[in-house]
Structure 1
Amino acid sequence: MSSTSKRMRLAMVATAGTVATFAAVGSAYAVDGPQPIVGGEIAHTADAPWAIQMSNVNSPASSGEYCGGTLVAANKVVTAAHCVEGTSTSEWTAVQGRDDLNDSSTGKESKITDIWYDPAYGNGAHDVAVVTLATPFDGVATLPLNQDTSVGESGSTATVYGWGDTEGTGPADTFQKVDVPLMGDATCGSAYGGEYVGTGEICAGYDEGGKDSCQGDSGGPLVLGGKLIGVVSWGNGCADAGNPGVYSEVATYYDELTAQIG
């Protein structure tokens, strides 16, 4: 993938990888900073209990903030392949129910015991993964997967959730959300050309920009009608005019994800 145009939405400008990879991009993080939800509003995990924050021990953020995810079963979290590719289970802690990542007295935590990501990832789209929790989040509401592949063309307004810095549009390390209209494959293909994969990706945003997911939101949920329709994947910049956010289309990978969720 082209790193100049296809900017994965991790907590730093890099693909997930080994400790050496994290160290190598440390200066990039210092310049760009983690830039999650842009132009959104404060949200509460009590209203979106299935939203999961994925902390990584190698994150330069003091909170460990690195990626997002969605609780789809008591012990299963859907996230992005580019978050977990090349990482080990020991690096991760899943956090549920914590609005402010700096308040460790709130919410639940679990280590993870298994990582699966789509084996076709890296050949265009397929940016989906499932991790297994060591300690299930029993009693927490889960979010069902969308199966309707026509949703991306509907023009409906979906909501994306995440934590972190906001390019100055909100407080850092705080759970936020933003509403973004689905733009359809033709618009997304016009914006990104061959890098956008219509079968397997959907995109959302505004022609004028201003509202978007961003770095640190990778793997997090795009939600419509009470279902997970997308997984935060990539974009050119964040909330820039003419460059919508791109999400893995859950309906495309429904069978693969369901097989892993059990």
Structure 2
Amino acid sequence: MLKRAALLCVLLLATALPASAGQPVVVGGTLASVSEAPWAVALTNPHSAAASGRWCGAVLVRPDKLVTAAHCMDQAASTYSAVQGRANLADRSVGRVSAISKVWIHPGYTTKNNRYDVAVLTLSKPFTGVPSLPLETRVRMDRTGVVPTVYGWGDTQGTGPDETLQKAAVPDLGDNACLADKSYVANGYAAATNICAGYLEGGIDACQGDSGGPLVLNGRLLGVVSWGEGCAQPGKPGVYTDIAGVAEPLLQQVR
């Protein structure tokens, strides 16, 4: 299983872990502006191999709260920075930056099965005046046929500029599409806590560096990028943490 994060990209590719902080934005996506996705936040870290420090994605759900993937938070909290309003991470003349003062990781999260892959970060300097994204707490919204959009600064595999905010529509395939794959089951896919989304023919997907980034449907946070096998490979859709499936403890942290 491949975690979709940046610095760990080479290691994750070699060991088949989830999506997080590393190298390759969204594969097969299109450019997105910060005005259309002001709540999209990039997490940077000096341990990243990328010059921009790109590590993971996140989403602003309160002026001082971010939601991201739990597997992104494997470094000391003091080493992370949250960047808002910067479509091109190389352009440090724009955007707002805040340190992270507190990290909450879902108590059910474990690297053994990658379930409950979600974390809440508290900003040292709130992003006041920036629109936030409400959480989708209705379980029924994860259903076959809806088409949410994923946002991120991750690897594009040559389909666009890396480290630049992109978006891609990824149809919800329903849990059975991932549960039918023995390797997805072995890596911990669970209908109660995951969303299976993408294209069975491949070509469009989240990738390394997109971990923790938002999966958005009807103006709400449906999920966050968690893991996948490869990026945009045929028969290997993306796996997202289902916000509705982890909503109860999450809401306590973001109120």
* Superposed pair shares fold, TM > 0.5: yes
Q: Secondary structure at the match of 1:160?
A: strand
Residues 1-262 of structure 1 mapped to structure 2, 5 A cutoff? 6-13=1-8, 25=11, 34-84=23-73, 86-122=74-110, 124=113, 125-191=115-181, 192-194=184-186, 195-262=188-255
Tell me, in whole angstroms, the C-alpha distance in 1 between the residues paired with 2:12 and 2:194: 29
Deviation of the 1:25 alpha carbon? 4.4
Tell me, in whole angstroms, the C-alpha distance in 2 between the residues paired with 1:90 and 1:44: 28
The letter for the 1-side match of 2:45 is: N
Q: Which runs of 4 or more aligned residues in structure 1 lie more than 4 Å from their structure 2 counterparts after TM superposition?
A: 24-28
Contact 2:155–2:210 (8 Å) recurs in 1:
no
Tell me, in whole angstroms, the C-alpha distance in 2 between the residues paired with 1:25 and 1:145: 32
Q: Secondary structure at the match of 1:260?
A: helix
TM-score, L = length of structure 1: 0.89
Tell me the number of residue pairs that the alignment of Structure 1 and Structure 2 aligns: 243
The letter for the 2-side match of 1:103 is: D
Q: Secondary structure at the match of 1:215?
A: coil
**For the structure 1 residues 208 and 27, does the alpha-carbon distance in structure 2 shift closer, same or farther, using more than 3 Å as the test?**
closer
Tell me, in whole angstroms, the C-alpha distance in 2 between the residues paired with 1:60 and 1:193: 31
TM-score, L = length of structure 2: 0.91
**What does residue 17 of structure 1 align with?**
none
* RMSD between aligned residues: 1.7
Deviation of the 1:193 alpha carbon? 2.7
> What fraction of aligned residue pairs are identical, expressed as a percent?
49
Tell me, in whole angstroms, the C-alpha distance in 2 between the residues paired with 1:90 and 1:62: 19
**For the structure 1 residues 38 and 150, does the alpha-carbon distance in structure 2 shift closer, same or farther, using more than 3 Å as the test?**
same
Q: Secondary structure at the match of 1:112?
A: strand
Deviation of the 1:13 alpha carbon? 4.2
Q: Secondary structure at the match of 2:67?
A: strand
Tell me, in whole angstroms, the C-alpha distance in 2 between the residues paired with 1:250 and 1:184: 15
Structure 1: give runs of 5+ residues left out of the alignment. 1-5, 15-23
Deviation of the 1:51 alpha carbon? 0.2
Tell me, in whole angstroms, the C-alpha distance in 2 between the residues paired with 1:12 and 1:60: 5
Structure 2: give runs of 5+ residues left out of the alignment. 15-21
